Structure 1
Amino acid sequence: MSAFNAIGDEREIDREEYTPGVEPQPTWCPGCGDFGVLKSLKQALPEVGRTPEETLVCTGIGCSGKLNSYLDTYGFHTIHGRSLPVARAAKLANDGLEVIAAGGDGDGYGIGGNHFIHTARENHDMTYIVFNNEIFGLTKGQTSPTSPKGHKSKTQPGGTAKTPIRPLSMSLTSGATYIARTAAVNPNQAKEIIAEAIEHDGFAHVDFLTQCPTWNKDARQYVPYIDVQESDDYDFDITDRGEAAQMMQETEDVLNEGTVLTGRYYVDEESPSYQEEKKNLGRVPQEPLAERYFDDDAEWERSYDLLERHT
């Protein structure tokens, strides 16, 4: 079965379909929050009616990069910080695929930060899950873009003098149309948020707090957490950019002080996705471009036929 004849094939889906037939032994450390991401994703995909044949997971380098090794879908293990451009290309070639990109905080907010900003700005229709454990884990514990100020590591033995980036605020400023934060210690909320992100038409960014018990022992385990939608102490409109920005700032201010706020922060259902914009402009075909590889009668267009000559 290909990614083309499987799309739109409605049927009952069991979450175990996402477990490889010969399941590899996970190499994540015991107690790693990455297990929570895998579990939440395997629960969310059947809930939104997506089969393994309809799903592509692109990952970068790092502990998060192993995600698609433990998930029986189409997968593409890219290089460091490059899961988003590969995911964008796949979605443009076959917009019937459910495209999910994943990376760590160093992979996504550091090395791949520029791709993150512009994928959000262009509102590509995909889900981006960032495993945020405030450390470079696979390379044995170096300071990352989200490590708190003063955190001691192999690269900053005296404690980092830099303040951490604000991923939620950066996502909003860049143009993402669905922004949420969840944590591995809150599996029910994580499943619901990932399901919403997958169903969202546009760029959906999920900052997923994942504890690292091996290389970030000083970090809290992100408990107790507070769901901003369920708490009476927080009241804001997730469709209002200004109110969302204020709530994000408060969330990012208090994280390293021991208050873990999670939930949905911003949702924009009105802005068209990049794919919709391009189709409206007639810049991409209505049918999946990738299908031409399977159609011997398809007429191929070349760039020199589409562009006017410079005179």
Structure 2
Amino acid sequence: MSVFNAIDEERDIDVNEFTPSLEPQATWCPGCGDFGVLKALKQAMPEVGRTPDETLLVTGIGCSGKLSSYFQSYGFHSIHGRSLPVARAAKLANPDLEVIAAGGDGDGYGIGGNHFMHTARENHDMTYIVFDNEIFGLTKGQTSPTSPKGHKSKTQPRGNAKSPIRPLSLSLTSGATYVARTAAVNPNQAKEILAEAMEHDGFAHVDFLTQCPTWNKDAKQYVPYIDVQDSDDYDFDVHDRREAMEAMHDAEDALYEGKVLTGRFYVNDERPSYQQEKQSTGDMPETPLAERYFDDDYEWERSYDFLDRHK
């Protein structure tokens, strides 16, 4: 018997299991898009077949960081921009866990941008949800990496002088094997994309557009959304990296022109995950590392036992 007995437990899963028994009062502002992320994530979990005991949600700092307080599972509230390294360590120690990391656009694309690029490059098997509202919300409305050029804020009162980053393109060029964009006002698509992202073997990045009615009133995230998979105007192969890159470029240009394109942009099911690569070279054992802490008979290895000493 161990703490891992809940992994791969076969039973029917109810969406209400992911609501804490003592549910805290959400402190998000009325109309905040973060409510849509929480709802979509809860609804996606039964689709994936995971229970709260099989799931770990790691969050960063910001309004998005509160997600783990309102979602029933194992949780870790990390420091600013550091949700991904914590999530990576947990997944490496126990690959059978469903690991989800979450953070805002400032947390994920700014302060934690280096972790984002290298987690994608290494293709760690996890889902990364970035709440993209084009603003720093929790700290009261400063310009973020996705704020459009010319946007006025407390830190850029005369208008943002910098062009926003392109999160989808950055994700693709860094090495992510599942890249999608969805929105809080499109709950059905959001649920489907989150479920696909969790079922994907590799690094799945979801740029989740979340409106901020308090600090970003001029964001163009209230306009109608266009699902690129349902529209005849957008025909590209999500498995073709070059076609996906062009589609992402169009979507990122259109966003600041009042046209919001959402959907799956790139899917690569053939590239092995980081965990699979490490196991193939013998650098990572088949038995979860975390399991060893509960095995009194396990004989621990030390690095000096299998590495040649410097001569």
Q: Which category of TM-score, normalised to the shorter sequence, fits these structures?
A: over 0.9
Cα distance in 2 for partners of 1:162, 1:303 equals 47
Offset, 1:3: 4.9
Cα distance in 2 for partners of 1:86, 1:2 equals 23
Does residue 260 (structure 1) correspond to residue 274 (structure 2)? The answer is no
The amino acid that maps onto 1:277 is E
Post-superposition CA distance 1:193-252 (Å, at most 9, x none): 000000000000000000000010111234200000000100000000000000000000
1:36 matched to which residue of 2?
36
1:237 matched to which residue of 2?
237
The total of aligned residue pairs comes to 311
* SS, match of residue 76 in structure 2: strand
2:130 matched to which residue of 1?
130
The amino acid that maps onto 1:258 is G
Q: Which moved more, 1:290-299 or 1:164-173?
A: 290-299
The amino acid that maps onto 1:150 is G
What is the aligned-residue RMSD (CA, Å)?
A: 0.9
Cα distance in 2 for partners of 1:189, 1:222 equals 16
Cα distance in 2 for partners of 1:243, 1:222 equals 28
Cα distance in 1 for partners of 2:186, 2:103 equals 20
Cα distance in 1 for partners of 2:102, 2:247 equals 25
| 8 Å Cα contact 2:57/2:99 also seen in 1 | yes
Offset, 1:2: 6.3
1:88 matched to which residue of 2?
88
1:50 matched to which residue of 2?
50
Identity fraction in percent: 80
| 8 Å Cα contact 1:84/1:116 also seen in 2 | yes
Post-superposition CA distance 1:22-58 (Å, at most 9, x none): 0000000000000000000000011110000000000
| 8 Å Cα contact 2:145/2:164 also seen in 1 | yes
TM-score, with structure 2 as normaliser? 0.99
| 4+ long deviations beyond 3 Å | none
Cα distance in 2 for partners of 1:223, 1:51 equals 35
2:275 matched to which residue of 1?
275
Does residue 249 (structure 1) correspond to residue 267 (structure 2)? The answer is no
**Structure 1 residues 133 and 2, CA gap change in structure 2 (3 angstroms):** farther
Question: Unaligned 5+ residue runs, structure 2?
Answer: none
* SS, match of residue 181 in structure 1: strand
**Structure 1 residues 96 and 227, CA gap change in structure 2 (3 angstroms):** same
| 8 Å Cα contact 1:183/1:222 also seen in 2 | no
| 8 Å Cα contact 1:123/1:177 also seen in 2 | yes
**Structure 1 residues 205 and 291, CA gap change in structure 2 (3 angstroms):** same
* SS, match of residue 89 in structure 1: helix
The amino acid that maps onto 1:200 is H
Cα distance in 1 for partners of 2:138, 2:258 equals 25
Cα distance in 1 for partners of 2:251, 2:151 equals 19
The amino acid that maps onto 1:88 is R
TM-score, with structure 1 as normaliser? 0.99
1:33-182 paired onto structure 2 within 5 Å = 33-182=33-182
1:5 matched to which residue of 2?
5
* SS, match of residue 5 in structure 1: coil
